[in-house]
Amino acid sequence: MGQTYQLKTSDPSDWLNRHGDALYAYALSRVSRADLAEDLVQDALLSALRNADTFQERSQERTWLIGILRHKVIDYFRAHRRQTQLEESELEKQRGTLGLFNRRGRWAEQPCKWKDDPASVYEQKEFWETYDACRKRLPRTIGEAYIIRELEGFSVEQACKFLDITATNLSVRLHRARLAMRECLEQHWFEA
Amino acid sequence: MRRTWFQKIRMILTLTCDQSSRLVSDSQERELELHERIALRLHMASCKGCRRMRLQFKQLHKIALRFRKGKTPQLAGLSKGSRERIQKKIEEK
């Protein structure tokens, strides 16, 4: 009962206080630039205020706000995604330069056994900061594909349409992204 | 992608670690074809590095899923300045 009451009297001017940090963290983890993240949060809050009457009491306030912010973030990606398609051969060449595999296609350096069970690191802030830092190091087109597919959870079809690339091209990018993320997390966190 | 029988058999016989990581990655986007699954299984049987890679790709996916759902500790917050700027904008409206 108490909670329902609180939601009913939810004051939009209080949204910034109560959800500002969560919204900002969400935006920053996707766009990586503080000024941009701030703008997106502001946009999202303003549009939430304009549409306050569509807010369903039953849904969680924060979930609703994050949903609006998510659209802002995706709009931002849409407006700024690179127009030129990277040729697949170009991507393959770049992967070669990562030096993860030798010329015969074997691991240049074998993946190690990870020292922590990933389930045990979820509560550690430093782990997530490392994860975030690794993601930021991904080359732009690769990082975009990774965010859209893995962090935003687009289906393959949606992701291809959104990025305007073929399924094969998407799969090349995700392969590179996963290899790079694996390598980076291993080096900076999981190496025994 | 359509492959000839010859290409399929060659894949089964000669799969490299590079290719095997591509297949493991692809398996998160699509169902692998029979010859791909056979090639992968044979390669995994003799390659410790790739067995680790496969496990770690799965773990990476779980990590991403957690991140997606916001099940992480609070990582960043608005600075006082940002908060004030946004507050001002909201009041203007």
Q: Nearest-CA residue of chain A relative to B61?
A: A150
Q: Which residue has the higher pLDDT, B70 or B34?
A: B34
Q: Nearest-CA residue of chain B relative to A27?
A: B76
Question: Mutate which of B24, B46, B67 to disrupt the A interface (most A C-beta within 10 Å)?
Answer: B67
Q: What gap in Å lies between CA B26 and CA B12, rounded to an integer? A: 17
Backbone angles phi, psi at B19, to 5 degrees: -65, -35
CB-based burial label for B46 (10 Å; 0-12, 13-18, 19+): exposed
A138-173 tens-digit pLDDT: 988 899 899 999 998 999 999 999 998 999 999 999
B47-66 tens-digit pLDDT: 999 999 999 999 999 999 99
CB A113 within 8 A of CB A192: yes
Residues of B in contact with A94 (CB under 8 A): none
Q: What gap in Å lies between CA A182 and CA A165, rounded to an integer? A: 24
Coil, strand or helix at A167: helix
Residues of A in contact with B30 (CB under 8 A): 156, 167, 171
Choose among A151, A179, A181: nearest Cβ to B68.
Answer: A151
CB B90 within 8 A of CB A46: yes
ipTM of the complex: 0.88
Considering the entire predicted model, what is its pTM?
0.80
